[in-house]
Amino acid sequence: MKILFITHSFNSLSQRLYCELTGRGHQVSIEFDISDSVTEEAVALFQPELIIAPFLKRAIPESIWSRHRCLIVHPGVPGDRGPSALDWAIQRGVDEWGVTVLQAEAEMDAGPVWASANFPMAATRKASLYRNQVTEAAVRAVLKAVERVAAGDFEPQRVPGKPHELMKQSDRHIDWQTDCSALVLAKLNAADGFPGVADSLFGQPCHLFDAWPEATLRGVPGTVLGWRETAICRATPDGAVWIGHVKRPGGIKLPATLAFPEATDLPELPLAGCWKAADPTWQDIAYEEAAGVGFLSFEFYNGAMSTAQCRRLTEAFRWATTRPTKVIVLRGGSDFWSNGIHLNTIEAADSPADESWANINAIDDLAEAILRCESQLTVAAVGGNTGAGGCFLARATDFVWVRDGVMLNPHYKNMGNLFGSEFWTYLLPPRVGAAGAAAIMRHRLPMTAAESVQLGFYDACLPGPGFAVDVARRAAELAAMPDIGEQLAAKAARRAADEAVKPLAVYRAAELAEMRRNFYGFDPSYHVARYHFVSRSPHSWTPRHLARHRDLDWKVPA
Ligand code: COA
């Protein structure tokens, strides 16, 4: 079927639907929702058999829905209508939620229902719910709806419902004197990653994001008790919570201590016990050990890895290599494994060019430490979406096991034609061939976990449910191999042979020469793209590689 996506952006949900539908032989083209006239033009050019809106912030114009079948993906159960669907569901503490695919009509979300899928609600952040449970349910519901459209004999039914309001900041307000920690966490979770909860810190207005529980610290409710690395801890009547990120008026979302440097005048609240995982508290890097395997988690907000985070993670990794283990598993975070260098901290730096340079060198140091590790076999357990440099950082390990359902974007050019580093020129071509590597970089398209394994880029795609358990079992099996000594020796020999052909330093220098041009050269594309990315600027055109109907040689098939 010829399917046109009308979407606010090509976000992870749209990417997943795109891969699922194209993988089933449908022809999908994409137009960003920029204006009614642009959408009308896209429809005229593509002449789709079906229009799907995976992620829209505005209504589809009547000129389109009255002439074409348009299916809206609504993140709510049948009968739920209106904006802030997930926010209300989280804040009301419902047990079950769902996704409904309904036909666009004049009244928002009131059209007949083509399919729906439910999931048990999880106590997590809105953005996490969206990227995981909502996305999985949306895939099931959209595939079902497309099947029904193709069959031609399905009669979609109307479901009665009443629209709810847009959730306002007054609905999200935190009273630090009376709201217990669980309620504070629920309010912050319902607002993460957008719009956050309007509040104030150090007498200044700001929006709060990225809340973590705290098991032991106590203080006068509402006061900021202190800081740890980039987060701050604030007391509630029955304990405290950590705030990882904040956004000041007119600014961008930043680590809390970067947005409010005065926080570091308060007491530092360091973790006892090195990298070892502690009780619930703010801990972005945590280490555990079992059955000869070291597990290193790095829960970096949005998968973004700043210079300081890369350096601390390198230190933690080097420390992990000194442990009496045979395997190290790099777990990444629960939502993202890694999205490469931290574009927000770069944007906020006095010299974004210098900070980009420092950050890419710091992430390359980490990749190099992984590549040069001879004391353990290394595994990347990619359980969350991964983009750009993060995809190649994972490939620096000996084995990459990826969770089915994860979306990968192993390319850089979408960020202002960035060349990329993280040793991708060493790591990618042997896996997919020189032409394959060039195609991945040029096409700039998302890839599913299964595709990454079919291409030979990653090593195994493991089922979603039970992924962590499966990884632990497989890693323990590796560690228990009777010939683990020989395996490690063979790994060291392979690295030495590669080094003799072309040293890692040569790959790195060549990549960084290109990156230096991106950061300091005449062409400002990377700086412009980064500014728009971190400012979340609405798109003003759809890139050609997505809007296939705008290809110069596009012809409406006869
Ligand atoms: N630095 C800082 N923030 C980042 C980031 C990065 N490298 N990558 C993602 N984020 C943030 C986004 O700004 C967004 O923030 P929000 O909480 O304010 O919404 C959040 O992570 C989710 O990103 P989004 O783009 O909405 O998610 P997605 O799943 O739709 O897309 C990617 C995933 C990876 C395709 C996309 O985020 C991306 O292109 N990231 C940049 C990758 C990059 O170029 N890295 C630098 C080169 S190594």
Q: Please work out, in degrees rounded to the nearest 5, the angle formed at the alpha carbon of residue 94 by the alpha carbons of 89 and 18.
A: 55
CA of 338 to the centre of ligand 1 (A): 9
Smallest CA-to-CA distance from 517 within 434, 421, 397, 419 is with 419
Handedness of CA 538, 115, 407, 129 (dihedral sign): positive
CA of 322 to the centre of ligand 1 (A): 33
CA of 374 to the centre of ligand 1 (A): 32
Check if 255 has its Cβ closer than 6 Å to any atom of ligand 1: no
Q: Copy the structure tokens of residue 491.
A: 């790994």
Share of the chain above pLDDT 70, in %: 99
Check if 194 has its Cβ closer than 6 Å to any atom of ligand 1: yes
> What domains can be seen in the chain, in order of their start residue?
2-165 (3.40.50.170), 179-265 (3.10.25.10), 285-468+475-523 (3.90.226.10)
Closest Cα to atom 23 of ligand 1: 302
106-110's contacts with Cβ under 8 Å and 24+ in sequence apart are: 106/62, 108/59, 108/81, 108/82, 108/163, 109/72, 109/74, 109/76, 109/80, 109/81, 109/82, 109/161, 109/163, 110/81, 110/158, 110/161, 110/163
In the beta sheet, which residues pair with residue 120?
A: 96
User: Residue 290: how many CA atoms within 13 Å on its side-chain side?
Assistant: 12
Q: Distances from the Cα of 36 to the Cαs of 29, 56, 106, in angstroms?
A: 17, 13, 15
**Contact criterion met (CB below 8 Å) for 281 and 215:** yes
Give pLDDT tens digits along the chain (558 positions). Answer: 999 999 999 999 999 999 999 999 999 999 999 999 999 999 999 999 999 999 999 999 999 999 999 999 999 999 999 999 999 999 888 999 999 999 999 888 889 999 999 999 988 999 999 999 999 999 999 999 999 999 999 999 999 998 889 999 999 999 999 999 999 999 999 999 999 999 999 999 999 999 999 999 999 999 999 999 999 999 999 999 999 999 999 999 999 999 999 999 999 999 987 788 888 999 999 999 999 999 999 999 999 999 999 999 999 999 999 999 999 999 999 999 999 999 999 999 999 999 999 999 999 999 999 999 999 999 999 999 999 999 999 999 999 999 999 999 999 999 999 999 999 999 999 999 999 999 999 999 999 999 999 999 999 999 988 999 999 999 999 999 999 999 999 999 999 999 999 999 999 999 999 999 999 999 999 999 999 999 999 999 999 889 999 886 666 555
Check if 342 has its Cβ closer than 6 Å to any atom of ligand 1: yes
**Contact criterion met (CB below 8 Å) for 146 and 138:** no
CA of 529 to the centre of ligand 1 (A): 12
Q: Please work out, in degrees rounded to the nearest 5, the angle formed at the alpha carbon of residue 424 by the alpha carbons of 420 and 425.
A: 100
**Contact criterion met (CB below 8 Å) for 406 and 382:** yes
CA of 109 to the centre of ligand 1 (A): 28
Burial profile 166-187: b = 16 or more Cβ within 10 angstroms, e = fewer: ebeeeebebebeebebebbbbb
**Contact criterion met (CB below 8 Å) for 418 and 515:** yes
**Contact criterion met (CB below 8 Å) for 111 and 133:** no
Q: Distances from the Cα of 32 to the Cαs of 42, 58, 75, 267, 421, in angstroms?
A: 10, 11, 19, 47, 29
Give the atom of ligand 1 at the shortest distance from the alpha carbon of 193: 17
Q: By three-state DSSP, how is residue 338 classified?
A: strand
State the Cα–Cα distance between residues 418 and 412, nearest whole angstrom. 5
Residues found in the chain: 558
Integer distance in angstroms from the first to the last C-alpha of the chain? 14
CA of 375 to the centre of ligand 1 (A): 33
Check if 412 has its Cβ closer than 6 Å to any atom of ligand 1: yes
Q: By three-state DSSP, how is residue 303 classified?
A: helix
Closest Cα to atom 17 of ligand 1: 193
- Nearby residues of 224 by Cβ (< 8 Å), 6 or more positions away: 201, 202, 232, 233, 234, 263, 266
Check if 389 has its Cβ closer than 6 Å to any atom of ligand 1: yes
Q: What is the DSSP letter of 442?
A: H
| Most ligand 1 atoms within 8 A of CB, residue of 192, 339, 357 to mutate | 339
Closest Cα to atom 41 of ligand 1: 339
- Report residue 210 CA to chain centroid gap: 14
CA of 433 to the centre of ligand 1 (A): 27
Query: Which tens digit of pLDDT belongs to each residue from 78-110?
Result: 999 999 999 999 988 899 999 999 999 988 888
Check if 11 has its Cβ closer than 6 Å to any atom of ligand 1: yes
**Contact criterion met (CB below 8 Å) for 122 and 101:** no
State the Cα–Cα distance between residues 72 and 546, nearest whole angstrom. 19
CA of 213 to the centre of ligand 1 (A): 24
Task: Please tell me the pTM assigned to this model.
Answer: 0.96
| Most ligand 1 atoms within 8 A of CB, residue of 55, 302, 355 to mutate | 302
Q: Distances from the Cα of 112 to the Cαs of 65, 104, 108, 134, in angstroms?
A: 13, 8, 11, 20
Closest Cα to atom 43 of ligand 1: 388
State the Cα–Cα distance between residues 278 and 542, nearest whole angstrom. 45
CA of 33 to the centre of ligand 1 (A): 20
Check if 197 has its Cβ closer than 6 Å to any atom of ligand 1: no
